[in-house]
Each structure stands twice: as C-alpha cells, then as structure tokens.
Structure 1
Amino acid sequence: MRVHLCILAAVIATANAGSLPSYIKPCSASDPNLNDCIQKVITAIGPKFAKGIPELGVASMDPVDLGKIVVNNPALKIIFTDTVLTGLGDFVVNSFKINTDKGKAALDFTANVTLKAHYEMDGQVLILPIKGNGQAKIKITNLNIVIKYDYKTVDGHWVVPSYKDSYKMDRAQFKFNNLFGGNKELADTTGKFLNENWNVIIQEIAPPALDQIIRKCVEEVTKFFGAVPADQLLTA
C-alpha cells in the first residue's frame, strides 16, 4: 500500500512548507542514522497527517473515502459503494530504509483497519452459493504492508516512477447484513462459513481494495511532490 508514501510526503512537506512546528525535527541527508531519523519522524507525527492537512491540500487518510470497489471474478461478483476505510492513523512503523545515492526507499508498517460499505454480492465462495445486498463491515487485524519505491528529481521536484508492494494479515472478519434477503438461518450459516474461511475470501476482496487505497495515496503524494521542491523535502 503506498499509504506510507502519503504519510512520509506529508510529514516532510509540512516540515518545510512554512514555519517548522515545534514537534517536528527535520532529517538531514547527511545523517548517518537517516533511516532511524525518518522512522522516528513518521512515528511521531504520522497520525496527525493521516487526519488530513487542509492548509496543504492533504486529504484525510483516516477516514479515507474509497468510493466504489468492484470484485469481478468468474465465480464471485461484489460491488462495494460508499466505501470508507478507518484505522490507518494508528499505524505502527516497523522499519524505514532509504538510499539517497540510488534513489530508493522502503517502508514496512502495520495497522488494524476497518472497511465499511454498501455491498451487492452474487456468486459462489468455494462450494457455497452466496447472494446479498446491504451493509458490509470488514475488519483486518495486523495488516502488514511493505512498499519499495524508486524516486528521482525532475525539474526540482521528486517523482516516483515505480514502486512495488506486498502485504499480509493475521486475520479478517466479515459481516454482511441482509444476506439472502434477510433469511436468518442461511445468513448465519453463510456468515460463519465466511469467517472460518476468511483467508480465501480476503484473497478475492483485498487486491481491488488495496488498489483503491494506493490510488488515493498516490494522488496526494503527487500533490505534495509537485508543490514542494526536492531540496526542501530532505535537508543537506
């Protein structure tokens, strides 16, 4: 998830966009402990930025509006609308690494997140037919995201030409209201089945949901990098 890019960009951009807040200590590229410095900065003030910084044009990442998410597989089709994700503001940074000579960086972080949306679902999960239309809630425990990205300076500003990400989680819990038109017996049986086989279900849902999170984040990063010169993002 490029959520880390959003947080890092917001942290550094804000620290240099105007008067330096007392709670921010900027990092220097010449610091032999640069990785630790940036990690501490993100840990200390990242949650503040996750709530949004209107004066910098930074949209909220907790909550974050993901809009419409479509899961369109041969056996299962789900449409989530009015999708909202919460929990990113309470992330924990596991590690941060940057190589200023090669223009490469990587962030490893973990968060417990909750996705709420209206859903329409029709299809089959493993051997079980499933259908419903109503409110959905998905809780993901210890969502661990690792993002590795390249960065370079173009016309005085940082750009991110490429990145790779990976993720894993400890657990996912699902609640879909109004399964099978409100048939309680079928809904209870199906709900139990979904949560017992959460790892199979999340493989269908996670990729498009994470793509939406990443897209939102990249949009904000683009604004930051386009507005703040590279030599202000990281001091000499």
Structure 2
Amino acid sequence: MFLSVSIAFFCFASGVLTNSLITPCKVNDLVCVDKSIKGAIPKILVGIPELGVESSDPIFVDQIDGNLSIIKYKFFNTTITGFKNCEISNFKLNEDITAIKYDLNCPKISLIGKYEVSGRLIVLPVEGSGDFQLITGKYSIHVDSELKKGTGSDGKTHISIKNFKLKSKALSPIKFDFKNLFNGQKDLSDAVHKFANENWFEVSELVQEPTWNACIKKVTTNVNKYLKNVALEDIVLQ
C-alpha cells in the first residue's frame, strides 16, 4: 500500500521522473507507468531496513481498538498478510502534489492474533477472548490521502502523507474463526460463527473500519520514513 503513494508521486508529477526503484517514465506514458509500478511492487514490499522502512507483508500491529456503537473489540499482536498480492488502480494526483486517490484491490487478506470482544454482532450477543483468525476474500479499499510538503534537514523539499480517509468493501465471503467465544460454550459459539460466515458482508460493514484504519496507519508511518529520504528536487526532472 505504501507503494501507491510513492509510485504515484514519482510517476504523476510533471516531467520525467527517476528513482532507483522504478523505471523512469514520462507522465503521459501510461504503459510505462503501469509497467514501472508492477516492477517496483516486489522490491518495495520487502521493506528498506536501512531507511527504517519495515516490510509491508506481513504487517504487525500491536493493538487494534474497535470501539463501535453496539460492539467493542480489541485485537492484540495481530499479523496481517496478503498485501503483496494486492493491485493498485485508478491513480489520481492533483497537479500541485497535495492529494492523491487510488484503489487497492486485494484477492485475500489474513489476520491472526488475539482478541477481546463484547456486545452485539448485529442481532446476536457476543463475548469472549482468545485466539482469532480472519481470512477475507476479495476486498476493495479506496484511499483518499492528503499530502504535504516541507523542508528537510538537507534544505530540500520533501513530501509526506498528512492524513487519509478510507472506503472499504468486502466483495466475497470472509471466514471468521474466534476461539473461546462465551468461554468455550460450543452451541453459542457455533451460532455466532454461522451467523458471521453467512452474513459476511453485513458483519464486515459493521466492524471493518477500525481494523483497516490501523493497517493503513501502520503503513503510512513506513511511507513517510521512506519519503523523508527522497527530496522532490532529486526525483522531478523538468
């Protein structure tokens, strides 16, 4: 995901852009831009340790807080995998490089960790704590980010992600597996799992926002670490 911001920034500013991770492209050469993005994905996803950029697959998040109206949940020590298989589309960057929009299309995302939950899952009461696993099917995530420019310690102009807004949508079934619901009462646990797995779209619409926000926030930190080392003057050729 942090690829989307860096690549869009490199490839859609005016002029011919160059960077060691991508093939230089003219801004109006869409075939080149598409090829450059796809070629850079595997290189960036592994992370750049010397710049403090962690791997984007897997992502590790210490805690995710879902403080929603009818249900409260927390995920602890969550490992998220699958972003390396996501495809980025529909880039839109404004001319002064202060905002970007794009779609992230993921075939499968897996989350594994520990949880605490209490409240109502739409119509059913739910409570418990223990290990959990979520495996999504196809997912679409629209990201709308505001960018900002500033002067770095090198005296040059640098860009960073100021904030973001998400619109996420599950496009195929999700598998929910939460151990020890209702302190191990199998009949109650089975009923909740059956409801969640049969009504995956409604359940995802209810609970997804805190989880995706936490993931993107984690990735954004890495993006900004990367962009901090890339001066605008060094990558935009007029």
Deviation at 1:121, TM superposition (A): 1.3
Partner of 1:167: 168
Q: Please give the residue correspondences for 1:94-133 in structure 2 after superposition, counting only pairs within 5 Å.
A: 94-101=89-96, 103-111=98-106, 112-133=108-129
State the one-letter code of the partner of 1:176. Answer: F
2:47 matched to 1:52? yes
SS in 1 for 2:24: coil
Displacement of 1:105: 3.1
Q: Alpha carbon RMSD of aligned pairs, Å?
A: 2.8
Q: Which amino acid aligns with 1:169?
A: A
1:130 deviates by 1.3
> Match of 1:26?
24
Is the alpha carbon distance of 1:70 and 1:152 closer, same or farther for their aligned partners in structure 2, counting shifts above 3 Å? closer
The answer to whether 1:142 aligns with 2:138 is yes
Structure 1 residues 102 and 80: CA distance shift in structure 2, 3 A: closer
Name the CA shift for 1:147/1:64 in 2 (closer, same or farther; >3 Å).
Answer: same
Cα drift, residue 137 of structure 1: 1.0
**1:197 is matched with which residue?**
199
CA contact (8 A) 1:69 1:79 kept: yes
Residue of structure 1 in register with 2:184 after alignment: 182
Where structure 2 has 5 or more consecutive residues not aligned to the other structure, the ranges are 13-17, 152-156
Q: Deviations over 1:171-191 (max 9, x none)?
A: 322111111222222222221
Q: CA separation in 2, counterparts of 1:157 and 1:204?
A: 38
TM-score normalised to the size of structure 2? 0.82
Q: Is the 8 A contact 1:39 1:96 kept in 2?
A: no
Distance 1:162 1:67 in 2: 21
Supply the AA of the counterpart residue of 1:135. D
User: What SS does the corresponding residue of 2:138 show, helix, strand or coil?
Assistant: strand
| TM-score calculated relative to the size of structure 1 | 0.82
2:81 corresponds to 1:80: no
Opposite residue 121 of structure 2, the aligned amino acid is V
How much has 1:10 moved relative to structure 2? 9.9
Code of the aligned partner of 1:39: D
Q: CA distance change for structure 1 residues 128 and 162 in 2, over 3 Å: closer, same or farther? A: closer
Q: Which runs of 4+ in 1 moved over 6 A?
A: 9-12
- Deviation string, structure 1 residues 34-53 (Cα, Å, up to 9, x no partner): x5433322222213322212
Output the CA distance in 1 between the equivalents of 2:96 and 2:11. 21
CA distance in 1, matches of 2:31, 2:99: 16
Q: C-alpha separation between the residues in 2 aligned to 1:142 and 1:191?
A: 20
CA-to-partner distance for each residue in 1:83-139, whole Å, 9 max, x for gaps? 111000111123323344564433222112111110111222223111221111111
> In 2 relative to 1, CA 165–36 (structure 1 residues): closer, same or farther, beyond 3 Å?
farther
Partners of 1:178 and 1:149 in 2: how far apart? 38
| Structure 1 residues not aligned, in runs of 5+ | none
Number of positions where the alignment pairs a residue of Structure 1 with one of Structure 2: 226
Q: Tell me, what secondary structure is at the counterpart of 2:202?
A: helix
For residues 52 and 9 of structure 2, the distance between their equivalents in structure 1, rounded to whole angstroms, comes to: 12
